[in-house]
Amino acid sequence: MEQQPMFKKWWALGLSAIYLSTIHAQQADNAAERPLIIYKVQAGDTLSQLSARFFVDAANLEVIRSLNHLRHIDLLPSGKHLKIPREFVKQSPSQATIISISCTRMIRAGSPPKALSVGSVLAEGTIIDVPAECQVSMLLEDSSVIRLPSSAAVKFSVLRKNALESSPQVELELVRGRIELDVNKNRSRTTPFDVRTPLSVTGVRGTEFRVGYAPTEQVGQVEVVHGIVAATGISDSQSQPVSKGQGLPFNRSGKAMAIENLLDAPVFERAEATHATPPTHAIKLAPNPSAKHYVVLNTKSANLLGEQTSQTITTAEVLATNLSQDAVFYQFASVSPSGLIGPSRQYGFCSVTGDIKFGRCRARFDAPLADGALITFSLIKHALGTTQELVSTQKLQARNGRFVIEGLPAGHYTWNMSYLTSSPGNTNHESTLTKQSGYFDLIALKTNLP
């Protein structure tokens, strides 16, 4: 590298092409250290054609040739995985679409600030600040989902895409609170998706994870639900891989602490009718002895969209009032002494008259962007090692952004849903595939109406 100024001098004097080759080799070496895009060569592709369609004017085809050890820029073997410096490829804006918002107050974002609602579109540079007791969910163009719980604030530092990749490049800055992400598992491993806090950087490729940062305490957390992430504290020399079921806390100096196994969620034990008015059931859970406390999310939607309430409890018990055939859903998770939140467990509670073995309940699903679209939906009941598909359709339709499945007996369920839609703010008229999946244990309780 010390000789590079001399090479530049020789280049200026127009000397032998051997020096030019040396310069290109050094540029290729530097390019190999830059973020890369991997493109699979199609039959008939040439670098000249790719350059005309996809590359910026400053792209150096000789650097790409050298980086990929090609004999000639127009001799591309079909099927070869071509390494292209990300900075050489043209980019365009991407967007995030609000798919769920639960708040009694107006939330504004953007420049100039505009009131957010389902279907609102957020662009690169947008900061969204979620008030206390509110929740917001967003959908990216590759069907990845971002959820912001109460009191979270995040900035979309990078939100852009290019014609060579199906997923957008994403960089989020978590200013405060927590962020939950379900990243599309089909994203290329070379397409960046990073979450930054003042204490850490977390890079992810196709996984479900959470990041937290508390400015007052100046501590942070990374928790992995599925897959694996690479997390680095600002005081660390290298990243640490954090796998499914693990969490990594960061101290106030930005140094990663020891990786921990996440605590299991508390398990439903029983429900007891109380003498309270209105009619109330006390939901008793088997406590996790290692938990400092528990977090609880409550909603009427089986897929956890729409209006929600959240709370922190120190004892493994919640009160459910006015239960009916329409199931109410609770998500429980244990919190460790270091502040790591473990994987959640989800229950739906409903009340029936007569023998609860024969009682039937209803489960609501929210699909706020699906009005007018056909929904592919399946619902499977699991019992004693067997499965029964109760619902399987590609023609389900939502009304007012929701639909209801009726006649469900108590039991363990898994579900999948997908639909194509174009949000009201989508200016490029492209359809986005929304995909969701999940599970719940439906618990039927005997009504205690007087």
Residue 342 has pLDDT above 90, yes or no: yes
Mean residue pLDDT of the chain comes to: 87
pLDDT tops 80 at residue 5: no
> Per-residue pLDDT averaged across 142-152, rounded?
92
Containing 246, the helix (H) or strand (E) segment is strand 246-250
pLDDT at 2: 41
Mean pLDDT of 391-406: 93
Contacts of 57 (CB under 8 A, 6+ apart): none
Rounded Cα–Cα distance for residues 58 and 236 (Å): 35
**pLDDT number for residue 353:** 87
pLDDT surpasses 50 at 273: yes
Architecture of the structural domain at 4-88: Roll (3.10)
Residue 429, pLDDT score: 55
The model's confidence at residue 390, banded by pLDDT at 50, 70 and 90, is very high
- For the chain, which residues make up each domain, given as ranges? 4-88, 92-261, 263-450
Average pLDDT over residues 104-109: 92
Mean pLDDT for 429-443 is 85
Neighbouring residues of 133: CB distance < 8 A, sequence distance ≥ 6: 103, 104, 150, 309, 310
Share of the chain above pLDDT 70, in %: 90
- Residues 354-366 have a mean pLDDT of 90
Question: Which is more confidently placed, 30 or 231?
Answer: 231
Predicted confidence (pLDDT) at residue 448 exceeds the cutoff of 80: no
Residues 412 and 383: their CA atoms lie apart, in Å, by: 7
Closest CA to 416 of 391, 388, 441, 384: 391
* pLDDT value at 424 more than 60: no
pLDDT of residue 344: 95
Please tell me which of 32-36, 109-113, 181-185, 332-336 the model is most confident about, judged by mean pLDDT: 332-336
pLDDT digits (tens, 9 = 90+) for 19-75: 333 333 344 445 445 688 989 999 988 888 899 999 998 788 888 888 888 888 777
Instruction: Determine the Cα–Cα distance for residues 235 and 233; give it in Å rounded to an integer.
Output: 5
> Is there a contact between 309 and 330 (Cβ–Cβ < 8 Å)?
no
Instruction: State the average pLDDT over residues 363-367.
Output: 95
Residue 3 has pLDDT above 60, yes or no: no
CA atoms within 13 Å, Cβ hemisphere of 423:
25
Quote the CA–CA distance of 201 and 176 in Å, as a whole number: 14
| 324-360 burial code (b ≥16 CB/10 A, e <16) | ebebbbbbbbbbbebbbbbbbbbbbbbbbeeebeebe
Residue (of 170, 131, 177, 132) closest to 154 by Cα position: 177
State the architecture of 263-450 in CATH terms.
Sandwich (2.60)
pLDDT of the residue at 46? 87
Distance in angstroms (rounded) separating the CA atoms of residues 345 and 268: 9
Q: Which residue has the higher pLDDT, 2 or 98?
A: 98
The structure's pTM equals 0.83
DSSP state of 20: H
Write out the CATH class of domain 92-261: mainly beta
